[in-house]
């Protein structure tokens, strides 16, 4: 079945450090890939997405590139801020009708210290 594996946390970085959160997936066919962010006390928000190989999703300084050859979708940011402290989830969906739930990774907690 489909699955998502992301790096274990927590990750603690100093402000302005470079961030990478690894995500790899197993899926049949060509899934769409997503990164979600959950700030403390809130629900999940879509951060970025990519729907086909070599697509790069980007938002708020975060980027992730859909790498079919390595089945990866690593999240990166060049300079993190304290406000980026949150839990980040990698997720995938099959190319389906939209009537199936996304498959989520376990989440990676990021703490950014000033």
Site residues (CB under 8 A) for another protein?
A: 32, 34, 41-46, 49, 51, 89, 91, 93, 95-102, 104-107, 109
Q: Which is nearer to another protein, 16 or 96 (CB)?
A: 96
First to last CA, the chain: 41
CB of 19 to another protein, least distance (A): 19
Closest among 94, 105, 111 to 22, alpha carbons compared: 105
CB of 84 to another protein, least distance (A): 19
Q: Which is nearer to another protein, 26 or 79 (CB)?
A: 26
CB of 5 to another protein, least distance (A): 12
6, 71, 77, 109 from 58: Cα distances, Å: 18, 18, 10, 20
Q: Which is nearer to another protein, 34 or 73 (CB)?
A: 34
Type and span of the H or E element at 64? strand 62-65
Phi, psi of 29, deg, nearest 5 = 70, -145
């Amino acid at each position: 079945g489909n699955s998502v594996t992301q790096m274990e946390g927590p990750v603690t970085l100093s402000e302005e450090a470079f961030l990478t959160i690894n995500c790899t997936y197993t899926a049949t066919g060509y899934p769409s890939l997503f990164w979600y962010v959950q700030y403390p006390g809130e629900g999940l928000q879509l951060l970025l997405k990519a729907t086909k190989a070599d697509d790069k999703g980007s938002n708020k300084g975060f980027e992730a590139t859909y790498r079919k050859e390595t089945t990866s979708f690593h999240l990166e940011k060049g300079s993190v801020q304290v406000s980026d402290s949150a839990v980040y989830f990698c997720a995938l969906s099959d190319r389906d009708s939209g009537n199936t739930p996304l498959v989520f990774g376990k989440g990676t907690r990021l703490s950014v210290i000033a």
